Amino acid sequence: MYLRLTDEQKMVQETIRKFVKEELIPLENEVLKNEREGKPGISNEKLKELRLKAKEFGFWGINTPEEYGGADLGQMMMALVLMEISKTFVPFSFGGSADNILYYGNDYQKEKYLIPTINGDKKSCFAMTEPDAGSDTRNIKMTAVKDGSEWILNGEKTFITGGNEADFVMVIAITDRELHKKTGRDGVTCFIVDRDMGWKSEYIDTMGEWGPAGLVFDNVRVPEENILGEINGGYKLGLEWIGFARWVVGARAVGMAERLLQMAIDYSKERKTFGKPIADNQAIQWPIADSAVEIEAARWLVLNAAFTLDQGEDNRHLASMAKLYGANMGNRVVDRVLQIHGGMGYTRELPIERWYREARLWRIYDGTDEIQRMIISRNLLKGNVKIGQYV
Ligand X SMILES: Cc1cc2nc3c(=O)[nH]c(=O)nc-3n(C[C@H](O)[C@H](O)[C@H](O)COP(=O)(O)OP(=O)(O)OC[C@H]3O[C@@H](n4cnc5c(N)ncnc54)[C@H](O)[C@@H]3O)c2cc1C
Tell me the C-alpha distance between 232 and 109, whole Å. 18
Q: Which stretch binds ligand X (CB under 6 A): 94-102, 289-297, 315-323, 361-369?
A: 361-369
- Find the residue with minimal CB distance to ligand X: 134
Rounded to the nearest whole angstrom, what is the least distance from the CB of residue 245 to ligand X in the complex? 8
Q: Which stretch binds ligand X (CB under 6 A): 77-85, 138-146, 154-162, 281-289?
A: 154-162
Contacting ligand X within 180-239 (CB under 6 A): 206, 212
Rounded to the nearest whole angstrom, what is the least distance from the CB of residue 385 to ligand X in the complex? 19
Closer Cβ to ligand X, 43 or 135, answer by number: 135
Q: Is 135 in the site for ligand X (CB under 6 A)?
A: yes
- Residue choice 231, 364, 376, 380 for contact with ligand X (CB under 6 A): 364
Tell me the C-alpha distance between 39 and 32, whole Å. 10
- Residue choice 47, 81, 160, 322 for contact with ligand X (CB under 6 A): 160
Q: Is 139 in the site for ligand X (CB under 6 A)?
A: no
Tell me the C-alpha distance between 245 and 265, whole Å. 31
- Residue choice 34, 154, 368, 379 for contact with ligand X (CB under 6 A): 368
Closer Cβ to ligand X, 194 or 366, answer by number: 366
Tell me the C-alpha distance between 103 and 77, whole Å. 20
Q: Which stretch binds ligand X (CB under 6 A): 125-133, 143-151, 180-188, 288-296?
A: 125-133
Closer Cβ to ligand X, 136 or 147, answer by number: 136
Rounded to the nearest whole angstrom, what is the least distance from the CB of residue 229 to ligand X in the complex? 16
Closer Cβ to ligand X, 59 or 159, answer by number: 159
- Residue choice 94, 199, 356, 365 for contact with ligand X (CB under 6 A): 365
Q: Which stretch binds ligand X (CB under 6 A): 78-86, 308-316, 346-354, 359-367?
A: 359-367
Closer Cβ to ligand X, 292 or 374, answer by number: 374
| Range 53-64 burial, b when 16+ CB lie within 10 A, else e | ebeeeebbbbbb
Q: Is 155 in the site for ligand X (CB under 6 A)?
A: no
Q: Which stretch binds ligand X (CB under 6 A): 14-22, 127-135, 184-192, 345-353?
A: 127-135
Cβ pair 302, 295 in contact under 8 A:
no
Closer Cβ to ligand X, 143 or 206, answer by number: 206
Contacting ligand X within 370-389 (CB under 6 A): 370-371, 374
Q: Which stretch binds ligand X (CB under 6 A): 38-46, 278-286, 365-373, 379-387?
A: 365-373
- Residue choice 64, 88, 109, 129 for contact with ligand X (CB under 6 A): 129
Residue 193's beta-bridge partner residues? 169
Rounded to the nearest whole angstrom, what is the least distance from the CB of residue 113 to ligand X in the complex? 17
Rounded to the nearest whole angstrom, what is the least distance from the CB of residue 207 to ligand X in the complex? 10
- Residue choice 84, 209, 294, 366 for contact with ligand X (CB under 6 A): 366
Would you give the distance in Å from CA 113 to the centre of its chain?
Answer: 21
| List of residues contacting ligand X (CB under 6 A) | 126-129, 134-136, 159-161, 206, 212, 361, 364-368, 370-371, 374
